[in-house]
Amino acid sequence: MFGLANPERFMRFTGPLTPWLWGVAAVLLAAGTWLSFTAPGDYQQGDTVRIMFVHVPAASLGLVVYGALGVSSFFALVFRHPLADAAARAAALPGAAFTALALITGSLWGQPMWGTWWVWDARLTSVLVLFLFYLGYMALRSAIDDEQKAGRAAAVLGLVGLINLPIVKFSVDWWNTLHQPASLLRMGGSSLDPVFLWPLLTMMAAYAALFLAVWLTAIRTEITRRRVMTLRARAALEA
């Protein structure tokens, strides 16, 4: 595992893997979409239950990707490893996109079910804070010209944001919220009926595969970009 921390080995290993991930993501997305629109409507929520199949995967990925960003930030900060820094940087945009999708699709689900687009309850507010951490991370990186300093400052922010993850996850248990408690990952197993569980699990796998494809592609691009910058600097010195 740690052998992959070498950028050249990482490029060799992920080169053949990345196209497969794109393919798996495409197949799973197609299958998940089909299952989502062949499932019956819910007896209480009607067809709005189909929003769950895009909302829950986006919300889960928003959390998981921030976890990846935080762990990568830790390795970048403590071991000053350039690949960890590239991994953290590459995770920020997809993570922010998934979190934004969770907020938007949640709002579109909330209006017909709760009668409101937004409420300042613990779950919604903590997810908004998560989104702001992503934005802050990206803004901090782009605000500092020196890439190493920007990476270190952003890594500190990335680590601080990890505090918010358990708050998001357990907000529905710690406080009274309008948002429903966990129905997928909970003690005693999922409370979802299999007709909804399978489309949801397929969409979650699809989102995860798509994230891995985007992430690996972006890390590889970051390694290539740094190599280009080094070559440009060398050419400027020789000129």
Distance separating alpha carbons of residues 138 and 120, to the nearest angstrom: 25
Tell me if 141 contacts other proteins by CB under 8 A: no
Among 78, 139, 143, 228, binds other proteins (CB under 8 A): 228
In terms of C-beta density within 10 A (0-12 exposed, 13-18 middle, 19 or more buried), how is residue 117 classed? exposed
Evaluated on CA atoms 60, 62, 67, 69, the torsion sign reads positive
Q: Which of 101, 116, 99 is nearest to 54 (CA)?
A: 101
Tell me if 131 contacts other proteins by CB under 8 A: no
Let me know: does 143 contact 174? Beta carbons within 8 Å: no
Q: Which of 109, 157, 150 is nearest to 129 (CA)?
A: 157
Tell me if 176 contacts other proteins by CB under 8 A: no
Tell me which stretch binds other proteins (CB under 8 A): 6-14, 101-109, 133-141, 191-199. Answer: 101-109
Tell me if 105 contacts other proteins by CB under 8 A: yes
Among 5, 29, 160, 197, binds other proteins (CB under 8 A): 29
Distance of closest approach, residue 191 Cβ to other proteins, in angstroms: 22
Among 21, 28, 32, 54, binds other proteins (CB under 8 A): 54
The torsion angle over the Cα atoms of residues 182, 186, 189 and 194, rounded to 10 degrees, is 20
Q: Which of 158, 210, 217, 155 is nearest to 10 (CA)?
A: 217
Tell me if 112 contacts other proteins by CB under 8 A: yes
Among 9, 17, 34, 143, binds other proteins (CB under 8 A): 34
Query: Where on the chain is the footprint of other proteins (CB under 8 A)?
Result: 22, 29, 34, 37-38, 40-41, 46-48, 50-51, 54-55, 58, 93-94, 97, 100-101, 104-105, 108-109, 111-112, 207, 210, 213-214, 217-218, 220-221, 224-225, 227-228, 231-232, 235
